[in-house]
Structure formats: structure tokens, C-alpha cells
């Protein structure tokens, strides 16, 4: 059983495929199948209106505006001849810049990890108050901090028991 009212035929002269999910070109407004919707595949006469690309200068990494009728290579070449300079600020931009405040640790992190108690920045390894011998430990601690302290005490007790049993 056929459904003659469903779908539309592709506007490409060599295709004419009956497509049940046809696509409309946003430049010329014609209907195409999935294989011919690209501007280059159906030789769209209005592609220049929509297919606008801005070239990036390979030296300074900035966009170079191109007017209609100009070739991108020529415009970028003229831009480079006018005194385009490498953008050293972009090249030397540091990612890992937040230094750990624990004495002896030289690690740096991408983002700040500030201790809630002493308000200093630490690396992932030393971010908890117990790991960096926090001077601000006299303040009240959260439930998570209390749980961490309990785990630390339990692990120390287990280590002591192991040492005592090995010494016997």
C-alpha cells in the first residue's frame, strides 16, 4: 500500500528520491534528501549568502574579516604583511597556576582548592585540613570533616595493632 501524499521528491535533477523526511535548504528554499542537502551537493546558487567563513591568521590567531569578492588567502597575506605579530600572551598563558601552600610541596593546580578553616590554597593531595596540618583546626568542623577524622583515627589504630602483632 502506497501513501502518495506523504513525503516529497528531492529537487536534485539526478535524484528525485521520494523522501519521507525531506530537508529544506536555508539558502535557496528547495527540498532535498539527506544526500543532497549540503550546498556543494546540489550546487546551490544562493550558498554565498549563508556559507560565510572567517579565516584565522596562523601567526596571531585572530580572525581576519574578508569582504565579498575577496580571496581569503590574499586578505590573510595582506594582514600578515601589515605587521601581524604573534600573540605571546595567548601562547604563554599558564594553566596550572594555583600553588600549594603546604611547606615542601611544589604542586600547582588548575583551580583553587581553598581550605574552609585557614583560607589557604592547597593541591589535591593536601586539600583536607588533616593533610596540611591546618592551623585553623580549633574551629568547628563539618560532618564530613568529623568523619574524615574518625577514619584517620581508625586507620592509625589498625596500624598500631599491626605493628604490635608483628613485634610479638
Whether the model clears a pTM of 0.85, i.e. scores above it, the answer is no
Position 20 pLDDT exceeds 80: yes
Question: In the prediction, which pLDDT does 107 show?
Answer: 92
Say what the alpha-carbon torsion angle 26, 27, 31, 34 is, to the nearest 10 degrees.
-70
Position 142 pLDDT exceeds 80: no
Query: Closest by alpha carbon to 104, among 126, 89, 87?
Result: 126
Query: Closest by alpha carbon to 33, among 61, 70, 7, 62?
Result: 7
Q: Which long-range contacts (CB under 8 A, 24 or more apart) does 48-52 make?
A: 50/26, 51/27
CA distance 148 to 133: 14
List, for residues 78-116, the tens digit of each pLDDT value: 988 887 877 654 556 677 788 999 989 999 998 998 988
Kindly state the average pLDDT of the residues 122-150: 79
Kindly state the average pLDDT of the residues 57-75: 84
DSSP characters for 36-85?
T-STTTTT-TTHHHH-----B-TTT--B----TT--HHHHHHHHHHTT--
CA distance 47 to 51: 6
Amino acid at each position: 500500500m502506497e501513501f502518495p501524499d506523504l513525503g516529497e521528491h528531492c529537487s536534485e535533477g539526478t535524484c528525485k528520491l521520494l523522501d519521507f523526511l525531506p530537508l529544506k535548504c536555508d539558502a535557496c528554499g528547495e527540498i532535498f534528501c539527506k544526500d543532497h542537502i549540503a550546498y556543494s551537493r546540489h550546487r546551490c546558487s544562493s550558498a554565498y549568502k549563508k556559507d560565510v567563513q572567517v579565516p584565522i591568521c596562523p601567526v596571531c590567531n585572530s580572525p581576519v574579516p574578508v569582504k565579498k569578492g575577496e580571496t581569503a588567502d590574499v586578505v590573510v597575506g595582506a594582514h600578515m604583511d601589515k605587521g601581524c605579530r604573534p600573540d605571546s600572551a595567548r601562547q604563554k598563558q599558564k594553566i596550572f597556576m594555583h600553588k600549594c601552600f603546604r611547606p615542601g610541596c611544589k604542586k600547582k593546580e588548575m583551580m583553587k582548592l581553598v581550605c574552609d578553616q585557614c583560607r589557604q590554597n592547597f593541591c589535591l593531595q593536601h586539600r583536607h585540613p588533616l593533610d596540611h596540618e591546618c592551623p585553623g583546626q580549633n574551629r568547628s568542623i563539618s560532618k564530613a570533616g568529623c568523619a574524615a577524622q574518625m577514619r584517620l583515627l581508625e586507620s592509625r589504630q589498625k596500624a598500631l595493632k599491626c605493628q604490635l602483632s608483628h613485634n610479638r
